[in-house]
């Protein structure tokens, strides 16, 4: 009888010890998991700096109608850089239709300015010469207004070239699908114009747009 009671007590002690041991194992496992989890959420940093690059380039930089003259009996001839109907009243032949092509190759939107070196009188001469230009999009949306939302009104009109810098595009985009514009010309050559090679140099300048 005594032995039976002793065995019962010992059994209870073993059970209690087992439960206590399991609790220690559980607490130890939780501590270990917390320690492992803490190291898993550690962070590192990688950084770099990308420089602003302003680059524009004339992909088509020359326009030539070659040699020609005003038709006999006509007071003047009209020349333009459009794809069709680019000569009237004369026998010139445009070698590269489509105007000058200008692309924004940088990584920021820019403000585009243009300047010429001559006027109609100094480039062509004669009675009532004409020398005008305009800018338009080759890729839709390339030239936008200050907010970048709509096309600038300068796209739709011809103007006399200015020998001082003139802003033509407030927001010239750099996106690959919208980064190219064209500069077209419309000339009137009077029958008493200057002779020889008549030429002018167009300069495009750009700076990162503040808008």
| pTM reported for the whole predicted model | 0.75
The C-alpha atoms of residue 95 and residue 100 are separated, in whole angstroms, by 12
Nearest to 185 by CA among 141, 143, 136: 136
Query: What is the β-pairing status of strands 166-172 and 110-115?
Result: antiparallel
CB-CB contact of 131 with 124 (8 Å): yes
Q: Which residues of 14-26 are buried (b: 16+ CB within 10 A; e: fewer)?
A: eeeeeeeeeeeee
CA 119 to centroid of chain Cα atoms = 31
CB-CB contact of 135 with 181 (8 Å): yes
DSSP 122: H
pLDDT tens, position by position, 117-150: 999 999 999 999 999 998 889 998 898 876 666 6
Q: Specify the residue for token string 């010890």.
A: 17
User: Helix H segments across the chain?
Assistant: 2-40, 120-123
pLDDT at 6: 45
Helix (H, G, I), strand (E, B) or coil at 70: strand
Residues of the chain with pLDDT under 50: 2, 5-17, 19-27, 29, 32-33
Cα Rg of the chain (Å, integer) = 39
The C-alpha atoms of residue 208 and residue 4 are separated, in whole angstroms, by 96
Query: What is the β-pairing status of strands 143-144 and 166-172?
Result: antiparallel
Helix (H, G, I), strand (E, B) or coil at 197: coil
pLDDT at 74: 96
């Amino acid at each position: 009888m005594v032995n039976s009671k002793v065995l019962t007590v010992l059994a209870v002690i073993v059970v209690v010890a087992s439960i206590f041991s399991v609790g220690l194992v559980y607490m130890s496992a939780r501590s270990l998991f917390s320690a492992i989890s803490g190291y898993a959420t550690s962070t590192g940093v990688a950084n770099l700096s990308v420089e602003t690059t302003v680059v524009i380039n004339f992909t088509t930089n020359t326009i030539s109608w070659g040699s020609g003259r005003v038709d006999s009996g006509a007071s003047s001839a009209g020349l333009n850089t459009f794809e069709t109907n680019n000569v009237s009243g004369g026998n010139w032949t445009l070698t590269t239709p489509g105007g000058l092509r200008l692309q924004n190759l940088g990584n920021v939107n820019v403000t585009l300015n243009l300047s010429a070196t001559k006027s109609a009188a100094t480039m062509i001469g004669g009675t009532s010469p004409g020398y005008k230009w305009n800018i338009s999009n080759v890729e839709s949306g390339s030239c936008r207004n200050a907010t970048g939302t709509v096309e600038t009104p300068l796209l739709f009109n011809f103007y006399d070239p200015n020998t001082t810098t003139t802003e033509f595009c407030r927001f010239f985009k750099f996106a690959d699908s919208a980064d190219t514009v064209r500069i077209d010309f419309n000339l009137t050559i009077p029958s008493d114009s200057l002779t020889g090679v008549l030429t002018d140099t167009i300069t495009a300048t750009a700076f990162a747009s503040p808008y």
